[in-house]
Amino acid sequence: MSLWGTLEGFEDIFKENYTPLFRYVKGIVKDDEQAKDVLSDLFLNLWQQKDKLQINDLKPYLFRAARHGALKMVSPRYQSIELPDDVHNIPADAYNPFEKFVAKQSIRIVEDLIAKLPPLRKEIIELRLLGLKYAEIAEALEITEKKVEYNMREAIEQLTHAINHSSLDKATIAGGLMLVNIIFTII
């Protein structure tokens, strides 16, 4: 019997993966209810097919299935995702109002820089920030791991170039990158 063959095992998989999948799907469909529908279909199908599915690595499978479901919902030609507006909500008690403002501004700057990347590189960065490893990203996007590595390296070079050739404060950008990484680590 597989891990998700029991209700408890399936519930653990659901709890562990729902939030990052929801954020990912919402970035594609831009609507909470549609994102919930995509994930409901995904998990219902997973449960119904539990005895038939042969999945080696569950996390990339879930992201790939979520991506396909979301793309079907919006358009077969849709190629880019965008993180939802509330993804970087900073707890009110974590900072004083000025620090919270600076933190949100730092995150916005980083998001704007990432948004300027080509769609594939942007999606690879966002999946990495959601905690996926290169092999998992490759499987989720149905590309080779070498292509993920190449595009990640190129994305980092593009971001570095944009930062070095901007009038933005480097410490602010570094803080934004750090906050983005911390927030995605926590969620």
Average pLDDT on 49-55 reads 80
152-184, pLDDT tens digit by residue?
889 888 877 887 777 766 666 666 666 555 554
Mean pLDDT computed over every residue of the chain:
77
Domain end among 11, 44, 74: 74
- Residue 157: give the domain boundaries: 91-186
pLDDT of residue 21: 93
- Tell me: do 97 and 182 sit in the same domain: yes
- Tell me: do 95 and 70 sit in the same domain: no
Rounded percentage of the chain residues whose pLDDT exceeds 90: 13
- With a CB cutoff of 8 Å and minimum separation 6, the contacts of 107 are 88, 176, 179, 180, 183
The answer to which of 24-28, 84-88, 92-96, 137-141 has the lowest mean pLDDT is 84-88
Total domains present in the chain: 2
- Tell me: do 16 and 100 sit in the same domain: no
Which tokens go with 138? Answer: 């490759």
Which tokens go with 2? Answer: 């597989």
- Tell me: do 16 and 45 sit in the same domain: yes
Residue 83 within a domain: no
9-42, pLDDT tens digit by residue?
888 889 999 999 999 999 888 889 999 999 998 8
Domain end among 34, 49, 74: 74
- Tell me: do 107 and 61 sit in the same domain: no
- Tell me: do 99 and 176 sit in the same domain: yes
- Tell me: do 7 and 66 sit in the same domain: yes
pLDDT of residue 99: 63
Other beta carbons less than 10 A from residue 144's beta carbon: 10
